[in-house]
Structure 1
């Protein structure tokens, strides 16, 4: 019973770190990209006869839109079914501005800030996992992300469908080969393979 309680507490600490990272990313986005556009933001209008600009600037302006409505959903697996704790945050594309009007968010600002927000979220999660559970991190050999130190290659392969789907066919069991063929070729291999 004590072991089950310890594992439950550890699992909750992991989820708390994932949620803290998500909250930090959203806070950053609301701060740096929480704006809406009012007025005309397109090309500067020109006189139809002379072709000269009618003004030297667009007439639009940006207004604060930092109070977002967000629905967050905890997720336990990737699309491929691999274990992958993460959170989906659905942001309502309407926000009440200081003048009381509901407007859309400026999507260009969100797009520019999304990579920085993701980096902040990952860093906050990593730091909390290190502080609360003693987890250590290292950058992967390909440099694309970081992973927890001490998890064996064998353990990663067991829980990663990408590894065995793309691995050498000779190392695959017949069952894995059939599953892989079904994923890649809609319907799987011929009847000879299905019988094994």
Structure 2
């Protein structure tokens, strides 16, 4: 009987770890800051509005049970993000893996706002968090360390820095999460985090 996870399972747990270790940012349900263009009746959305709208997605994202699929019509996520989450869920279910633990967000910071990005405005945020998330197959803890070439992850809380990417389908009025990347090494060290 095998006592270590397969390469496929290790890769799956590593992949899900990259998107699973973030949590609630703002507690607000909607952004509050807008500015109005003098040349048009249409409102113009600025970086502050976009930042607040993106933060408001996180409570919704973390309210979703990570051991279930995302609905294909989830309004706060792009199709690419939904496909990624559901692909990881399917792989983990096939291997009998479940996620357990909690995340505390320590701070969120604007990384880049690009209104002229190909395909429309993109926004990226640094999210600095402390996580106890772990992955189990039955009673066996199979959590791997994405910062250490897939070695077993030491027990206890750990600080993480993620880069969250958001996209707007309507020129800034509403936002959807599109991607989550775990930052390591120099990139993590350069993030504007004050970890708890």
TM-score bin (small chain):
under 0.3
Q: TM-score normalised to the size of structure 1?
A: 0.25
Q: TM-score normalised to the size of structure 2?
A: 0.25
| Higher Rg | 1
- Structure having the larger proportion of residues in helix: 1
